[in-house]
Amino acid sequence: MERTLILIKPDGIQRGLVGEVIGRLERKSLKIVGLKMLKIDKETAKEHYAHLVDKPFYPDLEQFMTSHPVIALVVEGKEAVAVVRDMVGPTNATKAPPGTIRGDFSNSTSRNIIHASDSKEVAEQEINRFFKPEELFDYSFSWSNFLKAPDE
């Protein structure tokens, strides 16, 4: 099973879309194996967005991503990296198709609700960047055990 890292960015939290985003991931049969709220420090932002530090919009991106909390999630499932990227849609939300998270909820390139790892290799690095091993959970539920649970 594959794992990928998701960040619900400050605009997603501010606009009340945390439940919507997590609900979509759950309904796609992606399993939440890690979840927390955190504030990203500038050093971590530079590492996470290393491919963008020379861009003119980087100062705004760093300021935005480090001035407010984000929600970080690790989800697990079949082809999770590609499946989640498809659910997220393209970076420029103005061009993102309806049905994608960015397409449905944003009309902006910089304030586009969500981050998701873009390859398996990057997913592994990003999961390690934001989660300690003990913050990730390996679990499964058995329906028959639920039925056996004592109610009184």
Is 44 a binding residue for ligand IDP by CB under 6 A? The answer is no
**Can you tell me the distance from the alpha carbon of 94 to that of 73, in angstroms, rounded to the nearest whole number?**
25
String of DSSP letters for 28-54: TTPEEEEEEEE---HHHHHHHTGGGTT
SS3 call for 100:
coil
Q: Would strands 114-116 and 70-77 be described as parallel, antiparallel, or unpaired?
A: unpaired
| Residue 91 interacting partner from Mg ion, ligand IDP, none (CB closer than 5 to 8 Å by kind) | ligand IDP
Q: Answer yes or no: 48 catalytic.
A: no
For the segment 48-67, give every residue that binds ligand IDP (CB under 6 A). Answer: 52, 57, 61
Residue 76 vs 118, nearer CB to ligand IDP: 118
**Can you tell me the distance from the alpha carbon of 103 to that of 91, in angstroms, rounded to the nearest whole number?**
10
Q: Which stretch binds ligand IDP (CB under 6 A): 14-22, 31-39, 106-114, 141-149?
A: 106-114
Footprint of Mg ion (CB under 5 A)? 118
Minimum distance, C-beta of residue 145 to ligand IDP, in the bound complex (Å): 39
Is 118 a binding residue for ligand IDP by CB under 6 A? The answer is yes
Neighbours of 8 (CB within 10 A): 22
Please give the positions annotated as active site.
Answer: 115
